[in-house]
Amino acid sequence: MRHAKHTFKVGRTGAHRRAMLANMLKSLIQNERIATTVVKAKELRRRADRMITLAKRNTLSSKRNAIAEMKISFNPLTTKEARKAKTGDKGSYARDRLVIEKLFGELRTRFTARNGGYTRIIRTGDRIGDNAPTCYIEYLK
């Protein structure tokens, strides 16, 4: 029997699914609102709420868990990347670090008094090409 077994497959391999959700999670934290399909938004909501819970703990292990969930690499910068960072060009390495700072800074302080339900899904209708139900997922204000 499959009681209490949650699966989210959407026709992708495991690695593709994990990478897709990590990228969507980073975009949601960075922009606080993204457009996607309802099925992806429902799975993303589980992970986004978990990220806020990790941020509210604000420990070193919770930061490391958030970094691992979003697949952010904190490798040392190469000389070329360091040169670009000095000129003010924000590559992908800098954007990922800013996502962590926003999660553990602004979003953590916004939701300190709230005990759950940090996201909202607003349905927008069906997509033209394949008639998939679409929506916006956003963090509450």
Kindly report, residue by residue over 100-123, the tens digit of the pLDDT.
999 999 999 999 999 999 999 999
Q: What angle do CA 72, 75, 79 make, to 5 degrees?
A: 130
In the predicted model, is pLDDT for residue 129 greater than 90?
yes
User: Do 140 and 120 meet the contact criterion of CB atoms below 8 Å apart?
Assistant: yes
CA separation (Å) from 51 to 22, 66, 99, 114, 136?
11, 6, 12, 14, 18
Mean pLDDT in the chain? 92
- What distance in Å separates the CA atoms of residue 41 and residue 35, rounded to the nearest whole number? 9
Domains of the chain: residue spans and CATH: 14-139 (3.90.1030.10)
Q: Which stretch of DSSP H or E encloses residue 124?
A: strand 119-126
pLDDT tens across 11-60, in order? 999 999 999 999 999 999 999 999 999 999 999 999 999 999 999 999 99
pLDDT tens across 1-14, in order? 989 988 899 999 99
Its pTM stands at: 0.87
